[in-house]
């Protein structure tokens, strides 16, 4: 009918997600370009419908979750292909600001019980101390959102779980909790692979609470992917 806006389906994942075929541990798996997620937010999540007067049509929350979820699922399958190799690699996760999202995404892949050992949701400082052995002095000196605490969380999880590698994440998802030196979106991700093999990354994410948590989980899984690739090359 005349005057109605064109509401044809929007398929940002088809145009914004790039996949490349790369050999990982002797086999080819699809590895997403992780930069695509940011482009989903910037470029194709909005458009002006035909016939509309300058307005914007946004993907609603459900549609956004479906788009991001599709990308995340393919990313998780790529990691599963690496971890499932007959090398006995196992992983555990200690999460704070992501609230279990990393563990959820790892276990979305069928057969993940072969390499996912456990996960801990350590939201409070007390839980980080009791479950992971993080020293109370680190909170007093550096704060819960810090490189030092992220490192201690990853190390504590790996030692207690007895796994090959452990991930940790601590940050400020917002909208509250920020300080002058630690803004909303500040996230520290830790990876401990034993033998003084510890990696700590600092990120400054932007967006609402949902987006920050999604991006933090994505960054943690990408750090794991890069560690696994580097381990194979070593």
**All structural domains of the chain with their residue ranges:** 12-233
Percent residues over pLDDT 90 in the chain: 55
Structural contact between residues 160 and 181, judged by C-beta atoms closer than 8 angstroms: no
Q: Can you tell me the distance from the alpha carbon of 64 to that of 42, in angstroms, rounded to the nearest whole number?
A: 12
* pLDDT reported for residue 27: 31
Comparison of pLDDT for 38 and 127, the residue scoring more: 127
Calculate Rg over the CA atoms of the chain.
19
* pLDDT reported for residue 196: 74
pLDDT tens-place string over residues 61-120:
665 555 555 555 655 665 565 565 546 899 999 999 999 999 999 999 888 899 999 999
Comparison of pLDDT for 206 and 68, the residue scoring more: 206
* pLDDT reported for residue 210: 96
Residue the block writes with tokens 């605490």: 149
Q: Quick check: 35 pLDDT over 60?
A: no
For the chain, the helix, strand and coil percentages under 3-state DSSP, each to the nearest 5 = 45, 20, 35
Please state whether the peptide bond connecting residue 175 to the residue before it is cis, i.e. omega within 30 degrees of 0. yes
Report residue 60 as tokens.
Answer: 């609603």
Mean pLDDT of 38-46: 47
* pLDDT reported for residue 111: 87
Q: How far is CA 198 from CA 19, 68, 93, 179, 223, in A?
A: 29, 29, 14, 27, 11
* pLDDT reported for residue 76: 61
Q: How far is CA 233 from CA 184, 223, 228, 229, in A?
A: 36, 15, 9, 6
Total-model pTM: 0.69
Q: Quick check: 14 pLDDT over 60?
A: no
pLDDT tens-place string over residues 147-195:
999 999 999 999 999 999 999 999 999 999 999 999 999 999 999 999 8
- What architecture is domain 12-233? Alpha-Beta Complex (3.90)
Q: Quick check: 57 pLDDT over 90?
A: no
Report residue 184 as tokens.
Answer: 């909303």
SS3 of 105-158: HHCCCCCHHHCEEEEEECCCHHHHHHHHCCCHHHHHHHCCCCHHHHHHHHHHHH
Q: Can you tell me the distance from the alpha carbon of 169 to that of 191, in angstroms, rounded to the nearest whole number?
A: 9
Across-strand partners of 82?
none
Return the ∠ at Cα 136 (arms to 133 and 138), rounded to 5°: 95
Mean residue pLDDT of the chain comes to 77
Backbone angles phi and psi of 28, in degrees to 5: -90, 130
User: Using the 8-state DSSP alphabet, how is residue 184 labeled?
Assistant: T
Which of 49-53, 138-142, 145-149 has the least mean pLDDT?
A: 49-53
Structural contact between residues 36 and 71, judged by C-beta atoms closer than 8 angstroms: yes
Confidence of residue 125 (pLDDT cuts 50, 70, 90): very high
Mean pLDDT of 55-66: 52
């Amino acid at each position: 009918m005349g005057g109605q806006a064109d509401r044809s389906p929007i398929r940002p994942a088809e145009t914004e997600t790039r996949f490349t075929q790369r050999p990982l541990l002797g086999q080819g798996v699809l590895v997403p370009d992780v930069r695509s997620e940011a482009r989903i937010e910037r470029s194709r999540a909005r458009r002006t419908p035909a016939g509309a007067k300058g307005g914007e049509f946004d993907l609603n929350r459900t549609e956004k979750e479906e788009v991001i979820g599709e990308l995340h699922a393919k990313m998780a399958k790529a990691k599963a292909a690496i971890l499932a190799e007959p090398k006995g690699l196992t992983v555990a996760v200690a999460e704070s600001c992501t609230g279990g999202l990393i563990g959820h995404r790892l276990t979305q892949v069928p057969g993940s019980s072969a390499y996912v050992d456990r996960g801990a949701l350590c939201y409070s400082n007390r839980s980080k101390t009791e479950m992971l052995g993080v020293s109370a002095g680190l909170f007093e000196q550096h704060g819960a959102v810090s490189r030092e605490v992220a490192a201690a969380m990853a190390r504590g999880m790996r030692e207690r779980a007895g796994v090959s590698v452990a991930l940790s994440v601590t940050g400020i998802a917002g909208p509250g909790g920020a300080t002058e030196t630690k803004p909303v979106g500040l996230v520290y991700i830790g990876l401990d692979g034993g033998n003084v093999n510890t990696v700590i990354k600092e990120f400054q994410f932007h967006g609402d609470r949902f987006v920050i948590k999604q991006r933090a989980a994505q960054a943690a899984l990408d750090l794991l992917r890069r560690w696994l690739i580097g381990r194979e090359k070593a």
